[in-house]
Amino acid sequence: MNITSATFLCSSQKVSQCPPDDRPEFAFIGRSNVGKSSLINMLTGRPGLAKVSGTPGKTRLINHFVIDDRWALVDLPGYGYAKVSRQERSGFSSLITGYILNRRQLYYLFVLVDARHEPQRIDLEFIRFLGTHGVPFGIVFTKADKLSQSQLHHNIEAYKQRLGEEWEELPQLFVTSSEKGRGRDEILDFIENCLAGS
């Protein structure tokens, strides 16, 4: 897939404020500071499309971007950031779960995890939540360039093993590096195949 246009559509504080159009939505979510904005910018080829911040927990709204007038890329708030207030954390939770469970346009959810770390409890809990509710999703390993190939392989295998304890079939896995452009074609081709089959 070659992206020729990527434009910001709107930000929503509530699911009810999300745009009413029928474009299929591919949403991106992960723990705060997992590299989500950098990945979105890399995928779209627009360096400033999603705001990259050194402050985790910056995305607090649902941000919609229209891609080639065919589909929407949705940037969801991060989860599990400790330095926002407990009240805000619960707000993120209701916003995230409200979108994931009630947004009929949601076609697929990309869950970002940092390839440098062992499986994190909060990520596993979130993935379990998706499975319980039958939400179609894949896992995107970010920051793959920060590791040697052997370390990367070890960490991904650890994730597969951990998931295999609960899942009969593993979700789709993508390995990415925003700095190197790794994984871009795989994710965009996957989206293209989804659109062709929808």
Q: pLDDT over 90 for what percent of the chain?
A: 70
The CA-atom distances, in angstroms, between 37 and each of 27, 81, 134 are 12, 16, 26
Structural contact between residues 108 and 193, judged by C-beta atoms closer than 8 angstroms: no
Span 66-71, mean pLDDT? 96
Q: What is the pLDDT of residue 112?
A: 97
| pTM recorded for the entire structure | 0.91
98 part of a folded domain: yes
Q: Name the band, by pLDDT with cuts 50, 70 and 90, for residue 15.
A: very high
33 part of a folded domain: yes
36 part of a folded domain: yes
Could you give the number of structural domains in the chain?
Answer: 1
Span 38-51, mean pLDDT? 91
Range of the domain at 140: 6-197
191 part of a folded domain: yes
1 part of a folded domain: no
Structural contact between residues 62 and 75, judged by C-beta atoms closer than 8 angstroms: yes
Q: What is the pLDDT of residue 86?
A: 52
CB-based contacts of 43, cutoff 8 Å, min separation 6: 3, 73, 184, 187, 188
Specify the CATH number for the domain of residue 189: 3.40.50.300
Q: Is the pLDDT confidence value at 84 over 60?
A: no
Q: Is the pLDDT confidence value at 153 over 60?
A: yes
